[in-house]
Amino acid sequence: MPSTNDTRTIHVRGMAIEAAHIEDRPGGGATLDIEHPDGRKWRVGVSGQGTVTEIVTAWEADGQVVPAEEPEWLDDALRQLAGAPA
């Protein structure tokens, strides 16, 4: 996972996804902000193994909070991010 305050661009299913490390979580893992190219964002809790433990919140491109549903490409993005060099 990226270090705190680190932002990376990863390419998943033809999309450039931005991933920003917000903070480490107690017991391992991290909180990440994930941004889709269309401006939608998700704040996710990720385990030390790189799997989603919770979708904390989600926003539309205009900043409106929306129901926190996991996008189908998120697991692919996290797998790629976990393998990205530091």
- 32 within domain boundaries: yes
Q: Does residue 41 lie within any of the structural domains?
A: yes
Range of the domain at 70: 7-83
Question: How wide is the angle at C-alpha 44 spanned by C-alphas 41 and 45, nearest 5°?
Answer: 170
C-alpha distances (whole Å) from 30 to each of 10, 16, 85 are 17, 21, 17
Distance CA 59, CA 49 (A): 25
Whether 2 is in a domain gets the answer no
Q: Please state, in angstroms and rounded to a whole number, the distance separating the CA atoms of residues 47 and 25.
A: 8
Residues 3-33 have pLDDT tens digits of 556 899 999 999 999 999 999 988 889 999 9
39 phi/psi in degrees, rounded to 5: 100, -10
* 1 within some domain: no
What is residue 36's DSSP assignment? -
Q: What mean pLDDT comes out for the span 35-48?
A: 94
Structural domains in the chain (count)? 1
